[in-house]
Structure 1
Amino acid sequence: MTTTSAPDERPSVAMREEAYGALRASAALWAGTSVLITNQRGQVLLQRVTYRPTRLLPGGAVDKGESPAQGAAREMEEELGVTATVTRGLAVDWGSPAGRTTPPAMKFPGELLHVFDGGVWDAEQIAAIRPRPGEIDGINFVEPAELPALMSPGDARRALSALRARINGGGPAFLEDGLPIAPTVLDRVGVLRTARACHHFPFHTHPAPDDLTVRQSWVWAFAPDGRVLVLLEPDTGAACLPGGTPEPEDHTDPETTLIRAARKEAAAELTGVRYLGYLSDLGERCARVRFAAVLTSLGPAPVDPATGRTYVRILATPEQALELFDWGPPAAEQLRRSTRPAAS
Protein backbone atom coordinates (compact mmCIF):
# COMPACT_ATOMS: atom_id res chain seq x y z
CA MET A 1 0.00 0.00 0.00
CA THR A 2 1.32 3.48 -0.84
CA THR A 3 0.56 7.07 -0.02
CA THR A 4 1.10 10.28 -1.93
CA SER A 5 4.66 11.43 -2.40
CA ALA A 6 6.42 13.60 0.17
CA PRO A 7 6.93 17.23 -0.97
CA ASP A 8 10.69 16.80 -1.45
CA GLU A 9 10.47 13.62 -3.55
CA ARG A 10 10.03 13.13 -7.25
CA PRO A 11 6.33 12.76 -8.09
CA SER A 12 6.93 9.30 -9.55
CA VAL A 13 8.29 7.95 -6.27
CA ALA A 14 5.74 6.43 -3.88
CA MET A 15 6.45 5.83 -0.19
CA ARG A 16 5.29 3.07 2.07
CA GLU A 17 3.18 4.20 5.00
CA GLU A 18 5.89 3.42 7.56
CA ALA A 19 8.51 5.43 5.70
CA TYR A 20 6.13 8.32 5.14
CA GLY A 21 5.16 8.36 8.82
CA ALA A 22 8.81 8.34 9.87
CA LEU A 23 9.55 11.23 7.51
CA ARG A 24 6.73 13.31 8.92
CA ALA A 25 7.65 12.45 12.50
CA SER A 26 11.20 13.66 11.87
CA ALA A 27 9.78 17.11 11.11
CA ALA A 28 7.36 17.15 14.06
CA LEU A 29 6.96 20.34 16.08
CA TRP A 30 5.77 21.10 19.58
CA ALA A 31 2.26 22.56 19.87
CA GLY A 32 1.25 25.24 22.34
CA THR A 33 -1.93 27.17 23.04
CA SER A 34 -2.85 30.36 24.90
CA VAL A 35 -5.77 32.70 25.48
CA LEU A 36 -5.80 36.49 25.22
CA ILE A 37 -8.26 38.00 27.71
CA THR A 38 -8.83 41.71 28.30
CA ASN A 39 -10.85 43.71 30.79
CA GLN A 40 -13.25 46.47 29.82
CA ARG A 41 -10.40 48.98 29.71
CA GLY A 42 -8.52 46.97 27.10
CA GLN A 43 -5.85 45.75 29.54
CA VAL A 44 -4.44 42.24 29.07
CA LEU A 45 -4.63 39.43 31.63
CA LEU A 46 -1.18 38.10 32.55
CA GLN A 47 -0.27 35.32 34.97
CA ARG A 48 2.58 35.38 37.47
CA VAL A 49 3.89 31.84 37.53
CA THR A 50 6.18 30.08 39.99
CA TYR A 51 8.52 28.54 37.45
CA ARG A 52 9.82 31.53 35.48
CA PRO A 53 10.52 35.24 36.07
CA THR A 54 8.46 36.49 33.13
CA ARG A 55 4.68 36.55 32.93
CA LEU A 56 2.46 34.55 30.61
CA LEU A 57 -0.93 34.49 28.97
CA PRO A 58 -3.07 31.62 30.24
CA GLY A 59 -2.10 28.52 28.30
CA GLY A 60 0.45 25.78 27.88
CA ALA A 61 1.30 22.69 25.87
CA VAL A 62 -1.33 20.90 23.81
CA ASP A 63 -1.85 17.42 25.20
CA LYS A 64 -1.78 14.29 23.05
CA GLY A 65 -5.02 13.83 21.16
CA GLU A 66 -6.55 17.23 21.88
CA SER A 67 -7.00 20.18 19.57
CA PRO A 68 -5.41 23.57 20.32
CA ALA A 69 -8.87 25.00 21.15
CA GLN A 70 -9.57 22.14 23.55
CA GLY A 71 -6.16 22.69 25.12
CA ALA A 72 -6.88 26.39 25.58
CA ALA A 73 -10.16 25.65 27.36
CA ARG A 74 -8.46 23.04 29.55
CA GLU A 75 -5.65 25.44 30.49
CA MET A 76 -8.14 28.14 31.49
CA GLU A 77 -9.91 25.70 33.77
CA GLU A 78 -6.68 24.37 35.27
CA GLU A 79 -4.93 27.72 35.70
CA LEU A 80 -7.78 30.16 36.32
CA GLY A 81 -10.52 27.89 37.61
CA VAL A 82 -12.82 29.14 34.84
CA THR A 83 -14.87 26.91 32.58
CA ALA A 84 -15.17 28.37 29.09
CA THR A 85 -14.83 27.48 25.44
CA VAL A 86 -12.88 29.35 22.79
CA THR A 87 -14.11 29.60 19.22
CA ARG A 88 -12.05 32.36 17.62
CA GLY A 89 -8.38 32.20 16.75
CA LEU A 90 -6.30 35.38 16.81
CA ALA A 91 -2.84 34.16 15.79
CA VAL A 92 -0.76 31.14 14.86
CA ASP A 93 2.93 31.63 15.57
CA TRP A 94 5.87 29.62 14.28
CA GLY A 95 8.39 29.72 17.12
CA SER A 96 11.69 28.79 15.54
CA PRO A 97 14.56 27.05 17.37
CA ALA A 98 16.69 30.12 16.66
CA GLY A 99 14.07 32.40 18.18
CA ARG A 100 14.06 30.79 21.62
CA THR A 101 16.76 29.89 24.12
CA THR A 102 16.15 26.39 25.46
CA PRO A 103 18.43 23.86 27.17
CA PRO A 104 20.13 21.60 24.60
CA ALA A 105 18.74 18.52 26.36
CA MET A 106 15.23 19.55 25.30
CA LYS A 107 16.18 19.24 21.61
CA PHE A 108 13.63 21.95 20.86
CA PRO A 109 12.44 21.43 17.25
CA GLY A 110 10.32 24.58 16.98
CA GLU A 111 6.73 25.13 18.03
CA LEU A 112 3.37 26.13 16.61
CA LEU A 113 1.66 28.39 19.15
CA HIS A 114 -2.04 29.20 18.86
CA VAL A 115 -3.53 32.31 20.46
CA PHE A 116 -7.29 32.29 21.00
CA ASP A 117 -9.62 35.16 21.84
CA GLY A 118 -10.85 34.83 25.41
CA GLY A 119 -13.00 37.94 25.07
CA VAL A 120 -13.57 41.02 27.22
CA TRP A 121 -14.26 40.11 30.85
CA ASP A 122 -16.43 42.15 33.17
CA ALA A 123 -15.97 42.56 36.92
CA GLU A 124 -18.06 39.49 37.73
CA GLN A 125 -16.01 37.23 35.46
CA ILE A 126 -12.74 38.58 36.86
CA ALA A 127 -13.94 38.04 40.44
CA ALA A 128 -14.60 34.37 39.61
CA ILE A 129 -10.93 33.68 38.77
CA ARG A 130 -9.28 31.18 41.10
CA PRO A 131 -5.57 30.87 40.23
CA ARG A 132 -4.15 27.37 40.54
CA PRO A 133 -2.22 27.05 43.83
CA GLY A 134 1.43 26.13 43.52
CA GLU A 135 1.67 27.20 39.87
CA ILE A 136 -0.03 30.58 39.47
CA ASP A 137 1.03 33.21 42.01
CA GLY A 138 -1.61 35.61 40.78
CA ILE A 139 -3.00 37.52 37.82
CA ASN A 140 -2.91 41.15 36.75
CA PHE A 141 -4.49 43.17 33.98
CA VAL A 142 -1.79 45.34 32.41
CA GLU A 143 -1.61 47.96 29.69
CA PRO A 144 -0.59 46.53 26.29
CA ALA A 145 2.46 48.82 26.30
CA GLU A 146 3.71 47.05 29.46
CA LEU A 147 3.85 43.60 27.85
CA PRO A 148 7.48 43.85 26.57
CA ALA A 149 8.71 44.70 30.09
CA LEU A 150 6.82 41.83 31.74
CA MET A 151 6.97 38.99 29.21
CA SER A 152 9.77 37.33 27.29
CA PRO A 153 10.44 39.13 23.97
CA GLY A 154 8.79 36.46 21.83
CA ASP A 155 5.77 36.15 24.09
CA ALA A 156 5.27 39.92 24.12
CA ARG A 157 5.51 40.17 20.34
CA ARG A 158 2.99 37.37 19.95
CA ALA A 159 0.54 38.87 22.43
CA LEU A 160 0.68 42.33 20.83
CA SER A 161 0.30 40.86 17.34
CA ALA A 162 -2.71 38.85 18.50
CA LEU A 163 -4.25 41.93 20.14
CA ARG A 164 -3.82 43.94 16.93
CA ALA A 165 -5.38 41.07 14.98
CA ARG A 166 -8.38 41.20 17.30
CA ILE A 167 -8.73 44.95 16.72
CA ASN A 168 -8.43 44.47 12.95
CA GLY A 169 -11.33 42.06 13.12
CA GLY A 170 -10.26 39.82 10.23
CA GLY A 171 -8.95 36.28 10.36
CA PRO A 172 -6.06 35.12 12.53
CA ALA A 173 -2.60 36.56 11.99
CA PHE A 174 0.16 34.21 10.90
CA LEU A 175 3.38 34.95 12.73
CA GLU A 176 7.01 33.92 12.73
CA ASP A 177 8.69 34.39 16.10
CA GLY A 178 5.86 36.70 17.11
CA LEU A 179 5.94 38.95 14.03
CA PRO A 180 3.26 38.91 11.29
CA ILE A 181 4.35 37.63 7.91
CA ALA A 182 1.81 40.05 6.39
CA PRO A 183 1.83 43.12 8.68
CA THR A 184 -1.24 45.32 8.80
CA VAL A 185 -1.05 49.09 9.23
CA LEU A 186 -1.46 48.60 13.00
CA ASP A 187 1.58 46.31 13.01
CA ARG A 188 3.68 48.60 10.81
CA VAL A 189 3.03 51.64 12.98
CA GLY A 190 3.36 49.65 16.20
CA VAL A 191 -0.01 50.49 17.69
CA LEU A 192 -0.24 49.77 21.46
CA ARG A 193 3.54 49.60 21.96
CA THR A 194 3.38 52.91 23.80
CA ALA A 195 1.01 53.84 26.61
CA ARG A 196 -2.46 54.89 25.56
CA ALA A 197 -3.63 58.30 26.73
CA CYS A 198 -5.80 57.82 29.82
CA HIS A 199 -8.73 60.24 29.78
CA HIS A 200 -11.10 59.03 32.47
CA PHE A 201 -12.70 62.44 32.96
CA PRO A 202 -16.37 63.25 33.65
CA PHE A 203 -18.31 63.87 30.43
CA HIS A 204 -20.94 66.63 30.32
CA THR A 205 -23.42 67.15 27.52
CA HIS A 206 -24.16 70.81 28.21
CA PRO A 207 -21.98 73.72 26.97
CA ALA A 208 -18.66 74.22 28.70
CA PRO A 209 -18.88 76.87 31.46
CA ASP A 210 -17.31 80.21 30.69
CA ASP A 211 -14.86 79.86 33.56
CA LEU A 212 -13.27 76.75 32.02
CA THR A 213 -10.55 77.24 29.42
CA VAL A 214 -11.06 75.05 26.35
CA ARG A 215 -7.82 73.11 26.15
CA GLN A 216 -8.72 70.71 23.35
CA SER A 217 -11.28 70.39 20.57
CA TRP A 218 -11.49 66.93 18.96
CA VAL A 219 -13.99 65.34 16.60
CA TRP A 220 -15.42 61.92 15.87
CA ALA A 221 -15.35 62.25 12.08
CA PHE A 222 -17.60 59.64 10.45
CA ALA A 223 -17.02 58.42 6.90
CA PRO A 224 -20.13 57.45 4.86
CA ASP A 225 -19.65 53.77 5.79
CA GLY A 226 -19.83 54.53 9.53
CA ARG A 227 -16.13 54.25 10.30
CA VAL A 228 -14.31 57.05 12.09
CA LEU A 229 -11.04 58.78 11.28
CA VAL A 230 -8.21 58.01 13.71
CA LEU A 231 -4.71 59.47 13.53
CA LEU A 232 -1.65 57.39 14.48
CA GLU A 233 1.66 58.99 15.37
CA PRO A 234 4.27 57.41 13.08
CA ASP A 235 7.05 57.25 15.68
CA THR A 236 5.09 55.97 18.67
CA GLY A 237 1.93 54.36 17.31
CA ALA A 238 -0.16 56.48 19.70
CA ALA A 239 -3.72 57.16 18.53
CA CYS A 240 -5.70 60.40 18.65
CA LEU A 241 -8.75 61.96 17.07
CA PRO A 242 -8.56 64.84 14.57
CA GLY A 243 -8.57 68.26 16.19
CA GLY A 244 -6.27 70.40 18.25
CA THR A 245 -5.77 73.24 20.67
CA PRO A 246 -7.26 76.70 20.20
CA GLU A 247 -5.28 79.39 18.40
CA PRO A 248 -5.95 83.15 18.41
CA GLU A 249 -7.25 82.92 14.84
CA ASP A 250 -10.09 80.69 16.07
CA HIS A 251 -11.62 83.55 18.12
CA THR A 252 -12.42 81.16 21.04
CA ASP A 253 -14.76 79.07 18.85
CA PRO A 254 -14.08 75.33 19.47
CA GLU A 255 -15.80 74.31 16.23
CA THR A 256 -13.51 76.59 14.24
CA THR A 257 -10.56 75.05 16.09
CA LEU A 258 -11.37 71.49 15.12
CA ILE A 259 -12.16 72.33 11.48
CA ARG A 260 -8.86 74.20 11.13
CA ALA A 261 -6.82 71.56 12.95
CA ALA A 262 -8.38 68.60 11.13
CA ARG A 263 -7.61 70.27 7.82
CA LYS A 264 -4.00 71.09 8.72
CA GLU A 265 -2.97 67.85 10.45
CA ALA A 266 -5.01 65.32 8.46
CA ALA A 267 -6.23 67.08 5.28
CA ALA A 268 -9.72 66.16 6.47
CA GLU A 269 -12.73 68.13 5.31
CA LEU A 270 -15.78 68.05 7.59
CA THR A 271 -19.42 68.97 7.38
CA GLY A 272 -22.43 68.66 9.66
CA VAL A 273 -20.40 69.40 12.79
CA ARG A 274 -22.42 68.74 15.93
CA TYR A 275 -21.50 69.45 19.56
CA LEU A 276 -21.47 66.39 21.85
CA GLY A 277 -20.18 67.78 25.15
CA TYR A 278 -16.98 68.31 27.07
CA LEU A 279 -14.69 66.48 29.47
CA SER A 280 -13.84 68.34 32.67
CA ASP A 281 -10.21 67.89 33.65
CA LEU A 282 -10.43 69.11 37.23
CA GLY A 283 -6.67 68.90 37.70
CA GLU A 284 -6.19 71.61 35.06
CA ARG A 285 -9.51 73.41 35.39
CA CYS A 286 -10.09 73.10 31.66
CA ALA A 287 -12.57 71.65 29.17
CA ARG A 288 -11.81 69.09 26.46
CA VAL A 289 -14.57 69.58 23.92
CA ARG A 290 -15.91 66.77 21.71
CA PHE A 291 -17.84 67.02 18.44
CA ALA A 292 -19.19 64.64 15.81
CA ALA A 293 -19.06 65.42 12.08
CA VAL A 294 -19.30 63.90 8.62
CA LEU A 295 -15.97 63.26 6.92
CA THR A 296 -16.44 64.42 3.32
CA SER A 297 -12.91 64.01 1.93
CA LEU A 298 -9.26 63.29 2.72
CA GLY A 299 -6.51 65.01 0.78
CA PRO A 300 -2.85 63.95 0.56
CA ALA A 301 -1.42 63.34 4.03
CA PRO A 302 0.16 66.63 5.20
CA VAL A 303 2.92 67.38 7.69
CA ASP A 304 1.33 68.49 10.95
CA PRO A 305 2.67 72.02 11.50
CA ALA A 306 2.41 71.61 15.29
CA THR A 307 4.56 68.45 15.48
CA GLY A 308 6.46 68.24 12.19
CA ARG A 309 5.16 64.66 11.72
CA THR A 310 2.87 63.14 9.13
CA TYR A 311 0.12 61.17 10.83
CA VAL A 312 -0.88 57.75 9.58
CA ARG A 313 -4.61 58.04 8.93
CA ILE A 314 -6.91 55.05 9.33
CA LEU A 315 -10.64 54.51 9.22
CA ALA A 316 -11.79 52.29 12.08
CA THR A 317 -15.16 51.10 13.27
CA PRO A 318 -16.24 52.82 16.50
CA GLU A 319 -15.61 49.55 18.37
CA GLN A 320 -12.09 49.32 16.97
CA ALA A 321 -11.41 52.96 17.77
CA LEU A 322 -12.37 52.49 21.42
CA GLU A 323 -9.69 49.76 21.78
CA LEU A 324 -7.00 52.23 20.67
CA PHE A 325 -7.78 54.59 23.57
CA ASP A 326 -8.06 54.25 27.34
CA TRP A 327 -10.94 56.69 27.65
CA GLY A 328 -13.44 54.52 29.52
CA PRO A 329 -17.24 54.96 29.55
CA PRO A 330 -17.13 58.67 28.53
CA ALA A 331 -15.82 57.68 25.08
CA ALA A 332 -18.60 55.14 24.61
CA GLU A 333 -21.12 57.79 25.64
CA GLN A 334 -19.69 60.22 23.08
CA LEU A 335 -20.11 57.63 20.34
CA ARG A 336 -23.66 56.86 21.43
CA ARG A 337 -24.54 60.55 21.25
CA SER A 338 -22.78 60.99 17.93
CA THR A 339 -25.07 58.45 16.26
CA ARG A 340 -28.29 60.04 17.49
CA PRO A 341 -30.37 62.13 15.08
CA ALA A 342 -29.49 65.80 15.19
CA ALA A 343 -32.93 66.65 16.59
CA SER A 344 -32.56 64.38 19.61
Structure 2
Amino acid sequence: MSEPQDQEAVAQPRTAAGVLIFDEAGRVLLVNPTYKPGWEIPGGYLHPGETPSEGAARELKEELGLTTPIGRLLVADWAPHPSEGDKFLFVFDGGLITDADRAQITPDGEEIGEYAFHDEDQIDTILIPRLARRIHAAFMARATRRTVYLENGEPA
Protein backbone atom coordinates (compact mmCIF):
# COMPACT_ATOMS: atom_id res chain seq x y z
CA MET A 1 0.00 0.00 0.00
CA SER A 2 1.44 3.41 -0.89
CA GLU A 3 1.46 6.62 1.10
CA PRO A 4 -1.12 9.26 0.14
CA GLN A 5 0.32 11.88 -2.21
CA ASP A 6 -1.09 14.84 -0.30
CA GLN A 7 -0.41 14.57 3.40
CA GLU A 8 -2.43 16.92 5.55
CA ALA A 9 -0.36 19.40 7.55
CA VAL A 10 -0.53 18.94 11.32
CA ALA A 11 0.11 21.46 14.06
CA GLN A 12 3.58 21.45 15.59
CA PRO A 13 3.21 23.93 18.44
CA ARG A 14 6.07 25.17 20.57
CA THR A 15 5.42 23.91 24.09
CA ALA A 16 6.31 25.69 27.30
CA ALA A 17 5.65 25.18 30.99
CA GLY A 18 5.67 27.57 33.91
CA VAL A 19 5.22 27.42 37.66
CA LEU A 20 3.24 29.54 40.09
CA ILE A 21 4.93 29.81 43.47
CA PHE A 22 3.24 31.70 46.28
CA ASP A 23 4.57 33.35 49.41
CA GLU A 24 2.87 33.22 52.80
CA ALA A 25 0.90 36.39 51.95
CA GLY A 26 -0.64 34.70 48.86
CA ARG A 27 1.44 36.71 46.38
CA VAL A 28 2.81 35.08 43.23
CA LEU A 29 6.48 34.93 42.28
CA LEU A 30 7.34 36.72 39.02
CA VAL A 31 10.70 36.96 37.29
CA ASN A 32 12.22 39.72 35.18
CA PRO A 33 14.03 38.14 32.20
CA THR A 34 17.25 39.74 30.97
CA TYR A 35 16.60 38.88 27.31
CA LYS A 36 13.26 40.66 26.82
CA PRO A 37 11.18 43.41 28.43
CA GLY A 38 8.49 42.66 30.98
CA TRP A 39 7.86 40.21 33.78
CA GLU A 40 7.01 36.50 33.48
CA ILE A 41 6.35 33.46 35.62
CA PRO A 42 9.31 31.09 36.03
CA GLY A 43 9.40 28.60 33.16
CA GLY A 44 10.27 28.16 29.52
CA TYR A 45 10.22 25.98 26.44
CA LEU A 46 10.47 22.21 26.72
CA HIS A 47 13.42 20.22 25.45
CA PRO A 48 12.75 17.31 23.04
CA GLY A 49 11.38 14.31 24.94
CA GLU A 50 10.74 16.33 28.10
CA THR A 51 7.30 16.31 29.74
CA PRO A 52 5.73 19.63 30.73
CA SER A 53 6.22 18.95 34.45
CA GLU A 54 9.86 17.96 33.87
CA GLY A 55 10.44 21.11 31.84
CA ALA A 56 8.85 23.27 34.52
CA ALA A 57 11.07 21.71 37.20
CA ARG A 58 14.21 22.10 35.06
CA GLU A 59 13.47 25.75 34.27
CA LEU A 60 12.77 26.52 37.93
CA LYS A 61 16.12 25.05 38.94
CA GLU A 62 18.04 26.73 36.09
CA GLU A 63 16.46 30.15 36.50
CA LEU A 64 16.12 30.44 40.27
CA GLY A 65 18.01 27.53 41.85
CA LEU A 66 14.77 26.11 43.28
CA THR A 67 13.93 22.42 43.51
CA THR A 68 10.36 23.03 44.64
CA PRO A 69 8.08 20.07 43.85
CA ILE A 70 5.90 20.63 40.81
CA GLY A 71 2.27 20.28 41.80
CA ARG A 72 -0.86 19.78 39.80
CA LEU A 73 -1.66 21.32 36.45
CA LEU A 74 -3.60 24.56 36.85
CA VAL A 75 -3.89 25.82 33.26
CA ALA A 76 -3.42 24.54 29.72
CA ASP A 77 -3.54 27.35 27.16
CA TRP A 78 -3.49 27.14 23.36
CA ALA A 79 -1.89 30.47 22.50
CA PRO A 80 -0.93 31.13 18.88
CA HIS A 81 1.57 33.95 18.47
CA PRO A 82 1.65 36.14 15.34
CA SER A 83 5.41 35.81 14.81
CA GLU A 84 6.29 32.64 16.76
CA GLY A 85 3.46 30.37 15.61
CA ASP A 86 1.27 28.02 17.61
CA LYS A 87 2.09 27.51 21.28
CA PHE A 88 0.73 25.19 23.94
CA LEU A 89 1.45 26.52 27.43
CA PHE A 90 1.12 24.73 30.76
CA VAL A 91 1.02 26.34 34.21
CA PHE A 92 1.67 24.19 37.28
CA ASP A 93 1.19 24.84 40.98
CA GLY A 94 4.57 25.24 42.68
CA GLY A 95 3.02 25.63 46.11
CA LEU A 96 4.07 27.85 48.95
CA ILE A 97 7.52 29.12 49.74
CA THR A 98 8.03 30.31 53.30
CA ASP A 99 9.90 33.44 54.27
CA ALA A 100 12.67 31.18 55.61
CA ASP A 101 12.93 29.37 52.24
CA ARG A 102 13.27 32.61 50.26
CA ALA A 103 17.04 32.52 50.77
CA GLN A 104 17.09 29.58 48.31
CA ILE A 105 15.93 31.82 45.46
CA THR A 106 18.98 32.73 43.40
CA PRO A 107 18.32 34.33 39.98
CA ASP A 108 20.84 32.93 37.48
CA GLY A 109 21.81 36.40 36.22
CA GLU A 110 21.88 35.15 32.62
CA GLU A 111 18.19 34.65 31.86
CA ILE A 112 16.70 36.11 35.04
CA GLY A 113 17.82 39.45 36.44
CA GLU A 114 15.48 39.72 39.41
CA TYR A 115 12.36 38.35 41.04
CA ALA A 116 9.56 39.75 43.17
CA PHE A 117 6.28 38.61 44.69
CA HIS A 118 3.11 40.36 43.53
CA ASP A 119 -0.54 40.46 44.59
CA GLU A 120 -3.10 39.23 42.09
CA ASP A 121 -4.53 42.74 41.74
CA GLN A 122 -1.14 43.92 40.38
CA ILE A 123 -0.97 41.29 37.63
CA ASP A 124 -2.78 43.34 34.96
CA THR A 125 -0.34 46.23 35.25
CA ILE A 126 2.80 44.07 35.34
CA LEU A 127 2.17 41.34 32.74
CA ILE A 128 1.18 41.40 29.08
CA PRO A 129 -2.60 40.91 28.76
CA ARG A 130 -2.48 37.33 27.43
CA LEU A 131 -0.21 36.18 30.28
CA ALA A 132 -2.23 38.16 32.84
CA ARG A 133 -5.42 36.34 31.75
CA ARG A 134 -3.59 33.00 32.08
CA ILE A 135 -2.36 33.85 35.59
CA HIS A 136 -5.80 35.03 36.74
CA ALA A 137 -7.21 31.72 35.46
CA ALA A 138 -4.47 29.88 37.38
CA PHE A 139 -5.39 31.71 40.61
CA MET A 140 -9.01 30.62 40.09
CA ALA A 141 -7.99 27.05 39.21
CA ARG A 142 -5.88 26.83 42.34
CA ALA A 143 -8.68 28.17 44.55
CA THR A 144 -11.28 25.81 43.09
CA ARG A 145 -8.90 22.83 42.76
CA ARG A 146 -9.74 22.51 39.05
CA THR A 147 -7.69 22.60 35.86
CA VAL A 148 -8.66 25.28 33.35
CA TYR A 149 -8.35 25.01 29.57
CA LEU A 150 -7.88 28.30 27.72
CA GLU A 151 -7.49 29.42 24.14
CA ASN A 152 -5.31 32.50 23.83
CA GLY A 153 -5.80 33.22 27.51
CA GLU A 154 -9.60 33.05 27.32
CA PRO A 155 -11.93 30.26 28.50
CA ALA A 156 -12.69 28.00 25.55
TM exceeds 0.5? Answer: yes
Of residues 128, 151, 154 in structure 2, which corresponds to 1:176? Answer: 151
Structure 2: distance between partners of 1:44 and 1:121: 10
Matches within 5 A, 1:248-327: none
SS at match of 1:56: coil
SS at match of 2:69: coil
Q: Which residue of 2 aligns with 1:34?
A: 18
AA in 2 matched with 1:179: E
Aligned identity (percent) is: 35
Number of residue-to-residue matches in the alignment: 156
Structure 1: distance between partners of 2:126 and 2:17: 19
Q: TM-score with structure 1 length normalisation? A: 0.43
AA in 2 matched with 1:132: D
The alpha carbon displacement at 1:176 in A equals 1.0
User: Residues 192-214 of structure 1, C-alpha deviation per residue, up to 9 Å, x if partnerless?
Assistant: xxxxxxxxxxxxxxxxxxxxxxx
SS at match of 1:134: coil
Q: Which residue of 2 aligns with 1:73?
A: 57
SS at match of 1:114: strand
Of residues 110, 118, 129 in structure 2, which corresponds to 1:153? Answer: 129
The alpha carbon displacement at 1:126 in A equals 1.6
The alpha carbon displacement at 1:84 in A equals 3.1
What 5-or-longer segments of structure 1 have no aligned partner? 2-14, 103-107, 182-344
Q: 1:94 to 1:130 in 2, by over 3 A?
A: same
User: Residues 249-282 of structure 1, C-alpha deviation per residue, up to 9 Å, x if partnerless?
Assistant: xxxxxxxxxxxxxxxxxxxxxxxxxxxxxxxxxx
User: Residues 119-154 of structure 1, C-alpha deviation per residue, up to 9 Å, x if partnerless?
Assistant: 011112222111112221111001111111111111
Of residues 42, 46, 49 in structure 2, which corresponds to 1:58? Answer: 42
Q: 1:113 to 1:169 in 2, by over 3 A?
A: same
Q: Which has the larger radius of gyration?
A: 1
What 5-or-longer segments of structure 2 have no aligned partner? none
Q: Which residue of 1 aligns with 2:76?
A: 92
The CA RMSD over aligned residues, in Å, is 2.0
- The runs of at least 4 aligned residues of structure 1 exceeding 3 Å deviation read none
Matches within 5 A, 1:6-45: 16=3, 23=8, 26-45=10-29
AA in 2 matched with 1:51: Y
SS at match of 1:33: strand
